[in-house]
């Protein structure tokens, strides 16, 4: 009896499997891929700030629309959208050996304009060019910062969207 039950069960499973194979459907689909042109970015002008007096706490803002804003051009895939951003959330500009807080000014709150909207989004033109990528920021001056010429570096990045 046990052999018959096992045989009937095996036959039932085989029947169910063959039925589900008969009920299968297939549909072809397309696969596509776009290879984007490598981007190149050229700094036209670095970010500058208005001169200020030492011995005061003040924020100096260079708007992205200001003539002292950093300006870049770029080439890439025509009509493709990109996101521009400054990699660092803040940078330190230093004077002299930059060895202590009195020789360091923090720059942050980066802003975008020109070919980019306020969030940094832009679209390459039909020739694959962006000619007016602009970055502004805020420099935080502390009353203990010594007089001098301060400088630092930041990284501007474009990413395809």
- Mean pLDDT split into 10-residue runs, the chain, 161 residues: 55 56 90 96 98 96 98 98 98 92 95 98 98 98 96 98 97
Length of the chain: 161
Residue 88 near residue 131, CB atoms below 8 Å? no
Its sign, for the CA torsion 46, 50, 54, 56, is: negative
Res 59: pLDDT: 98
Question: Rounded CA gap, 119 and 112, in Å?
Answer: 7
Res 98: pLDDT: 85
Domain ranges of the chain: 40-160
Its sign, for the CA torsion 117, 157, 161, 109, is: negative
Task: Give the residue from 99, 97, 102, 110 showing the smallest Cα distance to 138.
Answer: 110
- Exposure of 142 in the CB half-sphere (CA atoms within 13 A): 13
* Domain 40-160 sits in CATH 1.10.8: no
Question: Rounded CA gap, 32 and 8, in Å?
Answer: 49
Element (H, E) at 93: strand 90-94
- Note the pTM of the prediction, 2 decimals: 0.82
Res 71: pLDDT: 98
Res 14: pLDDT: 57
């Amino acid at each position: 009896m046990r052999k018959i039950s096992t045989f009937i069960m095996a036959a039932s499973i085989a029947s169910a499997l063959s039925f589900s194979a008969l009920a299968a459907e297939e549909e072809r689909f397309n696969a596509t891929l776009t290879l984007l042109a490598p981007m190149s970015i050229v700094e036209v002008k670095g970010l500058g700030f208005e001169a200020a007096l030492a011995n005061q706490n003040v924020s100096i803002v260079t708007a992205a629309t200001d003539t002292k804003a950093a300006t870049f051009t770029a080439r890439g895939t025509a009509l493709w959208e990109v996101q521009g951003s400054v990699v660092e959330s803040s940078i330190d500009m230093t004077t002299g050996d930059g060895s202590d807080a009195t020789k360091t000014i923090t720059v942050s709150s980066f802003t975008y304009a020109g070919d980019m909207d306020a969030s940094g989004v832009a679209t390459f033109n039909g020739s694959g060019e962006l000619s007016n990528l602009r970055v502004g920021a805020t420099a935080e001056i502390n009353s203990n910062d010594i007089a001098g010429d301060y400088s630092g570096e930041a990284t501007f990045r474009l990413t395809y969207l």
